[in-house]
Amino acid sequence: MSFVRSFIPKIVLSAIIVITILSYFLGIVPLSNGVSIVNQYVIIMIAFSLPLGVINLVGRNIKNIQNKRQDWLLDIAMLVSLTVMTVLGIFFGVTNTIYLWLYNNVNIPVGAMVMALTGLYIASAAYRSFRVRNLEGSLLLVSAIIIMLWNAPIGAALFPPILPIGNWFNNYPLTTGNRVIFIGFALGVISLCVRYIFFRENITGEST
């Protein structure tokens, strides 16, 4: 791998991390301004990278249609949808009647349908998780029943002591577990930053 592709990204990343950390801890105005500028660059770069994604998407779909791969008609539908929404949005604005009609009557209901799928898959996942096969499975089942009864209004009506039990579960085991994971990850990110700063991490995927 060339010097430019392997070493320059590491120098840039290391410099940005150092500047960001120093601007947080030292509060020096020029450094803080530098961090703001870098953040603006990120937004601009992401905006510029959108065509890259579109080229990838269109190129792959055209190839699928040319080769008549499985479900290639859906690729045509995708390309037509992409073209129609892009043309309407760019040339007639996002407040255009047709654009809004398509957005409100196609995009939103389809999106809601995808969200609704979660319910079906949760039922399937719940069946998988609530089978009592070992000690961990049993603990998970007991915890899930307590939390479900604590959250459902019928739980307190059927068994009033569930409220203090549920509160205890929420305030102690749940909060403790969450904090342990987050603190562990935060320390992991510190070690990651150190590896980036000292050029010990491979950021471009070189394996040697």
Partner 1 sequence: MPTLWEYIFGALFFSFCIIGMYRAEKRGEQKMKTIPACNGIPEGIQRSVEMGRPVLFEFGSIALNLYSQYIGPALGILNEVAKESARLGAHLITISFDPPSTAIMEEIVKNNYILYGRTMEEMDNRYVAGTDRGFTVATLAILEREKPGAHFLMGTTSYDAVIVCQAAADIGAFQVAGAIQTFQLPVMSVICDYVLIGEEFAVAGSVFSNKLGQLGTIVGHDWAKAVLVGLLILGAILAQFGLKIVMS
Binding site for partner 1 (CB under 8 A): 1, 24-25, 27, 42-43, 45-46, 49-54, 56-57, 60, 70-71, 110-111, 114-115, 117-118, 121-122, 124-125, 128-129, 140, 177-178, 180-185, 187-195, 198, 200-208
Least separation, in Å, of the C-beta of 157 and partner 1? 26
Would you say 152 or 180 has its CB closer to partner 1? 180
- Confirm if 22 and 31 have CB atoms less than 8 A apart: yes
- Confirm if 58 and 79 have CB atoms less than 8 A apart: yes
Least separation, in Å, of the C-beta of 6 and partner 1? 9
- Confirm if 88 and 98 have CB atoms less than 8 A apart: yes
For 126, which DSSP code? H
Would you say 102 or 156 has its CB closer to partner 1? 102
Q: Which of 193, 147, 192, 197 is nearest to 170 (CA)?
A: 147
Least separation, in Å, of the C-beta of 116 and partner 1? 10
- Confirm if 135 and 129 have CB atoms less than 8 A apart: no
Q: How far apart are CA 18 and CA 196, in angstroms?
A: 10
Least separation, in Å, of the C-beta of 160 and partner 1? 27
Would you say 126 or 158 has its CB closer to partner 1? 126
Instruction: Please report which helix (H) or strand (E) contains residue 66, including its range.
Output: helix 29-66
Least separation, in Å, of the C-beta of 19 and partner 1? 15
Would you say 71 or 161 has its CB closer to partner 1? 71
